[in-house]
Structure 1
Amino acid sequence: MPINKKSKINNIITWLHLWLGLVSGIIVVIVSVTGCLFVFQQEITNIVRHDVLFVQPPAGGQAALPLSELQHRAKVALGKEAPLTYMTAYKRPERSWEFMSYVPGDPKALTYNGTIKVYKSVFLNPYTGAVTGEVNYKKDFFMIVKGIHWSLFLSDAIGQPIVGWATLIFVILLITGIIMWWPKKWNKKHVNDSFKVRWKAKFKRLNYDLHNVLGFYTFIIALILGLTGLVWAFQWFNKAVYATATMSTKPMEYPAYNSDTTAVATLHSPIDYAYAQTRQAYPEAGRYTTSPVHGKADAISFSAYGHEGTYYDANTLYFDQATGKRLGESEFSDLNAGEKIIAMNYDIHVGAIGGLPGKIIAFLVSLVCASLPITGFYIWWGKKRKQKKKYRKQLKTWNKYQNRRNGPSQAAAVSAVCSPELIEKD
């Protein structure tokens, strides 16, 4: 039901929409623009770094080298200052395999990069073991964009709350905006004004339509982008999403898997065995990931992701590092509704959940989100200028009246004392 324009509720909503927009506008623009840039990060990187990320598979279907051998070569390539922390093997035969090193920096640092000591990967040809290239993510364009999007390139402790509160304000702006947009009457004129952009209209009217009409059409997706951002920004919101999906605040219990430290080692290469077992269990997975074990009690864990470019659809197997015995498994299908939504959060946020069409939609909606504070500011500025012109016109009329009645000097004195703000120059 539309709200009466003269109602107090409508005045409060309008006031909130204006001032919250002015307060958060710059941050919303920055976060939205960086979101646009990051959406196609994988696709663009695959093109720009094609020689690093892709290899020519050998003729005859030659098998890849053992993962343990590639792991050894990657450690040498990374160097002592960059310990291997993460390995990714791909199903596609033309993909090089990634071996990553991540070492945290100073948690009290001011900048995003300051909280990271090492963040780089070497890529190896899985058939020859040759290094195809190295990427330092601390200097990578898309990682810098991600750092700006995540925390304005400040440390999490400083930047994350700023981005989080700006995102929360943006969600409120979307809701108040849709209330203000709601047509007062559902006749042809009001429907056309609310649903159509007048592309041939003057700039002022076009700007108004771009703010209101595009804001309406992107409302649902923009709201989803904002809410998924809040899942990372605030722990209380993360818990609220989980509780809403599961109707419970009780988290899932995950068993702890440990290797038997008293068992006699029966495997020459436990990691190769675990990798082979995981590929056999999930042959259709797009990629397989694992991290090196550190202690004798650690279990080897291997995750198989359903798609090469998504993160939610992971199935993980756990193995004893001495005997290769399968200790347990964790499958995406076994998660409760809350855990599934949280796991899918990133892929929903960047549109990857819908494949390439989903990313295109996320890109376009993020672009509109970036424009909303700009078009909204111009609407406010235009009204302000219009109001000032109206006051000046009234002042001019008043001065003419006073000139006729009291003389020019007295009229100017009255104007200067009574309303000095109305005679200031642009």
Structure 2
Amino acid sequence: MQKYSLRKFINDVHLWLGLASGIVLFLVCLSGTLLVFEDEIKSFFTDDFVVEATQGEKMSIELLSDKLKEEGDITAVTLPATAKEPYLFSIKTDPKQRRGSTYYVNPYTGEYQKELKSSLDGFFMTMFRLHRWLLLDIEIGRPIVGIATIIFLILSISGIVLWFPKRLKWKNFKPGFKIKFSANWKRINHDLHNTLGFYACIFLVIMCLTGLCWSFQWYRDAGSAVLGAKIFGNRGGGPKVSSSLAKDAKVVSVAEILEVVNTELAYEGQIRLALPKTETEVYTITKNDASGRSPVITDKLVLDRDGTVLKKEIFDEKPLNVQVASLIRPLHLGDIYGSFSKTLYFLACLIATSLPITGTLIWWNKLQKKRKRKKGKALRLETV
């Protein structure tokens, strides 16, 4: 009788967890694949808001704000790194709005246009709900997806263990790096599962570890404790900073505020400026280095209305644990290094979508092979 080894146990865990979660993982991975390039796909189906950089001097933020004040309450403005892109004004057209609507504004002419709705908005919202909650109620769908994600993490780790050959020699490793397309379809299917799973594994592990932060509060708390920094802790902008100016104190224009920003953060990049609404509020600014390694990494300034620097946060000067905690979202979405990392994530998600299919086929082929063996053995016994 063959000994039940640790490798056999890992194989059984990999097999039965994969079969049990296959449909859920297929749906979550498929929707995740489509969501990687959501912004790029939606923008392809909407008209561009063209800005000519030869139309004279740019208008001031105050003047542009006056042109937009009838649209609603202006909360922030984003200034692009290049002259040929529009300003983006965030405007709450309804007090109940949490984030507001985006308006594209030509800084040279003052012409503006509300962000156009794409014909694919509904489709991608459905994909988002499928990815996060399987189109179910949040309280039901979220834990199901969370449990499936834990299973996928176990599958990824056990899959890597099974990828290693029993005898650790180079000639035994080589088949695991390539797909033998000249073989029959069963071998090709096996190689697609084994080899592509190996190449995608590191990205799938990152997606699982970060994705669980949205599924379970206990996991988010545990992750914060391990990192020593709160995950999603800066969503509200951190501790609220209030103005220390007297009521009759002199305040500066937005243009002068931007001069301070470009002095403190002396590089070219996109600037997002949250505008103060009352005398006690201040300017909150984030800026991204256009020549930096990541489009999602930003430095932060908090300025009083007279241009005094109240707070300055340079991302590269933060402790590593704080940096990691603040990058959970881009690490999960794949946009941490822009189009390059998005492409890698798209391919990894595409492979992940195929794994439940190829894995099920491997199991089915082995099952059929066992049945044929039993049938052949039974026929031989009958002839005897």
Q: TM-score, normalised by structure 1?
A: 0.75
Distance 1:345 1:281 in 2: 27
2:155 is aligned, of 173, 176, 179, to 173
2:203 is aligned, of 218, 221, 235, to 221
Q: Residue in 2 aligned with 1:13?
A: 10
| Matched letter for residue 94 of structure 1 | K
Q: Residue in 2 aligned with 1:418?
A: none
Is the counterpart of residue 205 in structure 1 residue 216 in structure 2?
Answer: no
Q: Is the 8 A contact 1:259 1:299 kept in 2?
A: yes
1:313 is aligned, of 252, 277, 297, to 297
Q: Is the 8 A contact 2:294 2:337 kept in 1?
A: no
Greater relative contact order structure (CA < 8 Å, 6+ sep): 2
Distance 1:22 1:334 in 2: 46
Q: Residue in 1 aligned with 2:81?
A: 91
Distance 2:248 2:289 in 1: 34
Distance 1:330 1:57 in 2: 32
Q: Is the 8 A contact 1:90 1:96 kept in 2?
A: yes
Distance 2:345 2:359 in 1: 21
Percent sequence identity is: 30
1:149 is aligned, of 91, 111, 131, to 131
Q: Is the 8 A contact 1:121 1:135 kept in 2?
A: no
Q: Is the 8 A contact 1:312 1:343 kept in 2?
A: no
| Matched letter for residue 22 of structure 1 | L
Question: Displacement of 1:260 after TM fit?
Answer: 3.1
Aligned residues between the structures = 378
Q: Deviations over 1:348-406 (max 9, x none)?
A: 333333343322222211211111111111111222233334444455566x56xx9xx
Q: 1:136 to 1:211 in 2, by over 3 A?
A: same
| Matched letter for residue 263 of structure 1 | K
Q: Residue in 1 aligned with 2:53?
A: 57
Distance 1:154 1:99 in 2: 34
Q: 1:261 to 1:134 in 2, by over 3 A?
A: same
Pairs within 5 Å for 1:342-421: 342-394=325-377, 400=382
Is the counterpart of residue 40 in structure 1 residue 22 in structure 2?
Answer: no
Q: Residue in 1 aligned with 2:164?
A: 182
Question: Displacement of 1:105 after TM fit?
Answer: 12
Question: Displacement of 1:277 after TM fit?
Answer: 2.5
1:296 is aligned, of 279, 288, 292, to 279
| Matched letter for residue 70 of structure 2 | V
Please state whether the residue corresponding to 1:36 is helix, strand or coil.
Answer: helix
Is the counterpart of residue 31 in structure 1 residue 14 in structure 2?
Answer: no
Q: Is the 8 A contact 1:122 1:135 kept in 2?
A: no
Question: Displacement of 1:89 after TM fit?
Answer: 1.6
Q: Is the 8 A contact 1:225 1:349 kept in 2?
A: yes
Q: Residue in 1 aligned with 2:107?
A: 126
Question: Displacement of 1:236 after TM fit?
Answer: 3.9
1:259 is aligned, of 232, 235, 243, to 243
Is the counterpart of residue 100 in structure 1 residue 95 in structure 2?
Answer: no
Q: Is the 8 A contact 1:242 1:338 kept in 2?
A: no
Q: 1:374 to 1:248 in 2, by over 3 A?
A: closer
Is the counterpart of residue 341 in structure 1 residue 324 in structure 2?
Answer: yes
Is the counterpart of residue 70 in structure 1 residue 53 in structure 2?
Answer: no
Distance 2:187 2:375 in 1: 23
Q: 1:194 to 1:91 in 2, by over 3 A?
A: closer
Q: Deviations over 1:32-69 (max 9, x none)?
A: 223332333444455444523x422125xx33222233
Distance 1:91 1:242 in 2: 34
Distance 1:313 1:292 in 2: 21
Distance 1:267 1:317 in 2: 17
Distance 2:88 2:222 in 1: 36
Q: Deviations over 1:133-184 (max 9, x none)?
A: 4234893654554443344455654443332222221111011111122101
Q: Is the 8 A contact 2:93 2:101 kept in 1?
A: no
Q: Is the 8 A contact 1:104 1:118 kept in 2?
A: no
Please state whether the residue corresponding to 1:184 is helix, strand or coil.
Answer: coil
Please state whether the residue corresponding to 1:286 is helix, strand or coil.
Answer: coil
Question: Displacement of 1:132 after TM fit?
Answer: 3.8
Q: 1:292 to 1:363 in 2, by over 3 A?
A: same
Question: Displacement of 1:95 after TM fit?
Answer: 0.9
Q: Is the 8 A contact 2:260 2:307 kept in 1?
A: no
Structure 1 or 2, whichever has the larger Rg, is 1
| Matched letter for residue 209 of structure 2 | L
| Matched letter for residue 66 of structure 1 | S
**Structure 1 unaligned residues grouped into runs of 5+:** 107-115, 405-426
